Structure 1
Amino acid sequence: MKPASSAVKGYRRLIPSVTALVEFEAVARLASFTLAAHELGVTQAAVSRQVKYLEDRLGVRLFHRLHRSITLTEEGEALYLVVAESMQKIAGVFDRLASGPAQQELVLAATSAFSQLRLLPRLAALRAAQPDLQLRLSTQMFTADLRHKEIDAAVRFGAGSWSDGSSTLLFDEEVFPVCSRRWLETHESPVTLDALANAPLIESDSTSEGWMTWDEWFRTLGFRPAQLNFALRCTLYTDAIQASRHGQGIALGWGRLVHDFIAAGDLVRLPLASFRTRDAYYIVVPHGRTITPAIEGLIDGLRQDAPGDQ
């Protein structure tokens, strides 16, 4: 059904320049006129003119122009959210129609800890359930910014509310001490928090997602040790877990991530205190993208054995 001519005229009156909207979206997403010009293959002056044209037509400022950076104004943020969502929908339809009926590649962002310890062990089951799934992992050190990456979905740990996407709960989390059977064969198992604080601990750096350190874990339990005995400090959580598997000491076990190692006997959960976090794991889909059957299947696959895996 073709739109009425009056509607077309209305769109043209209210949206005077699609080019200006495209260039505004690039500037807002990249937070830079220079980067937007490079991406679009035009001059910075041309991009500036298009944004200024929009501001003049709307009668509002879209950006705060600072000395070395720009940020969206309240009006600019409102326009960006709508424009970005609309452009992503249009791009998605073009991509699907141009590529035919074959399954599109799904780009999933996750931390290395989640991808290595939770996702990859379940990849075979995911492929069995979705034979056409084409997955590309985008491994992130910290939380991925969905506005700046070509990402279809991201796994995040947090409260479930983010400004750049809509979230679906995967599962909750519990944190407790773990070590290897090899370590227990040569060391006395700590039976109190004080004894645990003096045992050889393996530390990993906290992340922007709110993962806790040993000190934070003890404090959540109301225990403040005078000193912690660190046998090893690691930047990555995966290194800390591997070190614990190889008998180097006791690490903090994030239950959803170390479940497979515990089930296989590579790690042992020490019968001490544990802390159930208020935050949880979520799949986050950028605003404007649809939760496709592939993403729904990914969610189901990642939830596999989650209810009783701790």
Structure 2
Amino acid sequence: MKTAPEGVKGYRRLIPSLTALVDFEAVARLSSFTLAAAELGVTQAAVSRQIRFLEDTLGVRLFYRLHRSIQLTSEGEQLYQVISDSMRRIAGTFDRLSMGSLEQEVVLASTAAFSHFRVLPQLSALQKAQPHLRLRLITQMFTADLRHNEVDLAVRYGNGKWGDGTATFLFGEEVFPVCSPAWLAAHQTPATLEELAQLPLIESDATSEGWMGWEGWFQAAGFRAPRLNYVLRCSLYTDAIQAVLLGQGVVLGWRRLVDALLDAGQLVRVTAATVKVQDAYFAVVPHGRSGSPATEHLIEWLRGAPIWTD
């Protein structure tokens, strides 16, 4: 029988309670003792005892107990990053072994516009290049804390500085007016930004930091319009694009989202005027989850680089 080398501690001595670690992960992820207890099927008092035992064992405080909420301390953040990543790896291995296959599921979060215009049209290419990868898409209208979601990777638009994950630059962006070919053929092409402001404009609500509307676009282009001719406002960019495809007016085209529609001739540019924005698209891996090979392949695919197979 093999024995541990002298002076080397076994895991049971270094990690006195796996139950406490499981409880800690749930509390940290949900930011709630009550929700963690409900998920684990135990009482809140039992969860509190496990967390207190863990804090006493480590000799550090893991949570700040506030009036109506809790918050991880810096030590708690360090422990959560390791525990979350480790548990996810264990769960993923269990899942693959129990399924009896080599399939790898990656949960990708993005806005509806990004998944609709950029991910879904190229999904067959991804499946061909990575036949074992199974993609699960989650739509987020607004930026959500990745620690509280079962997400492997999120696509975000912004400055790349977020506290809940590690961001990898994908690509920049520029914005310009677009419409349907039929609409442009039936109307006179605007010669100036002032004429453009009088056209029937379609607006979509901001769903992320840095999202630019018509008013901001005109200001960035050097023109302050006294009044804009809005004919339709949509909460989703996908609806705004659909309205334009049906010949309802003019919308701001985000190049990385409408490139395929422009190439197919379904959309055309109204003018040559364009605004290059400072923000960009980033792939964000949540803290506590190291990027798996499947995740890294997905990031390269999102960036547009060649995808390789194992």
**1:1-310 superposed matches below 5 A:** 3-4=4-5, 6-9=7-10, 12=12, 14-304=14-304
- Matched position secondary structure for 1:211: coil
Residue identity in the other structure for 2:22: V
What is the CA deviation profile of residues 40-79 of structure 1, one whole-angstrom value per residue up to 9, with x for unaligned ones?
A: 1111010111112223334443222233222223332233
Distance 1:95 1:163, change over 3 A: farther
Distance 1:130 1:78, change over 3 A: closer
- Matched position secondary structure for 1:199: coil
The worse-fitting range, judged by mean Cα deviation, of 258-267 and 205-214 is: 205-214
- Matched position secondary structure for 1:80: helix
The worse-fitting range, judged by mean Cα deviation, of 167-176 and 115-124 is: 167-176
TM-score normalized with structure 1 length: 0.88
- Matched position secondary structure for 2:161: coil
- Matched position secondary structure for 1:7: coil
C-alpha distance in structure 1 between counterparts of 2:139 and 2:271, whole Å: 33
- Matched position secondary structure for 1:184: helix
C-alpha distance in structure 2 between counterparts of 1:279 and 1:45, whole Å: 46
Residue identity in the other structure for 1:8: K
C-alpha distance in structure 2 between counterparts of 1:42 and 1:30, whole Å: 15
- Matched position secondary structure for 1:160: coil
The worse-fitting range, judged by mean Cα deviation, of 92-101 and 39-48 is: 92-101
CA RMSD in angstroms, aligned pairs only: 2.4
What is the CA deviation profile of residues 248-294 of structure 1, one whole-angstrom value per residue up to 9, with x for unaligned ones?
A: 11101000111111111111112232112222222222334343343
C-alpha distance in structure 1 between counterparts of 2:9 and 2:96, whole Å: 26
Distance 1:269 1:3, change over 3 A: farther
TM-score normalized with structure 2 length: 0.88
C-alpha distance in structure 2 between counterparts of 1:305 and 1:59, whole Å: 47
- Matched position secondary structure for 2:147: coil
- Matched position secondary structure for 2:53: helix
Asked whether the equivalents of residues 192 and 272 of structure 1 are also in contact (C-alpha less than 8 Å), the reply is no
Asked whether the equivalents of residues 31 and 71 of structure 1 are also in contact (C-alpha less than 8 Å), the reply is yes
C-alpha distance in structure 1 between counterparts of 2:105 and 2:49, whole Å: 36
Distance 1:224 1:2, change over 3 A: farther
What is the CA deviation profile of residues 8-61 of structure 1, one whole-angstrom value per residue up to 9, with x for unaligned ones?
A: 25x555543222222112111101111100111111010111112223334443
Residue identity in the other structure for 1:46: A
What is the CA deviation profile of residues 96-152 of structure 1, one whole-angstrom value per residue up to 9, with x for unaligned ones?
A: 444444222222111110011111111122222223332221122222432122222
- Matched position secondary structure for 2:7: helix
Asked whether the equivalents of residues 205 and 234 of structure 1 are also in contact (C-alpha less than 8 Å), the reply is yes
Unaligned runs of 5+ in 2: none
C-alpha distance in structure 1 between counterparts of 2:25 and 2:3, whole Å: 28
C-alpha distance in structure 2 between counterparts of 1:301 and 1:210, whole Å: 24
C-alpha distance in structure 2 between counterparts of 1:251 and 1:241, whole Å: 7
What is the CA deviation profile of residues 179-201 of structure 1, one whole-angstrom value per residue up to 9, with x for unaligned ones?
A: 11121122222222222222211
Residue identity in the other structure for 1:31: S
The CA deviation at 1:231 is: 0.8
C-alpha distance in structure 2 between counterparts of 1:286 and 1:139, whole Å: 16
Asked whether the equivalents of residues 181 and 267 of structure 2 are also in contact (C-alpha less than 8 Å), the reply is yes
- The count of corresponding residues between Structure 1 and Structure 2 is 305
Unaligned runs of 5+ in 1: none
The CA deviation at 1:3 is: 5.0
- Matched position secondary structure for 2:157: strand
Distance 1:267 1:278, change over 3 A: same
- Matched position secondary structure for 1:147: helix
C-alpha distance in structure 2 between counterparts of 1:48 and 1:249, whole Å: 58
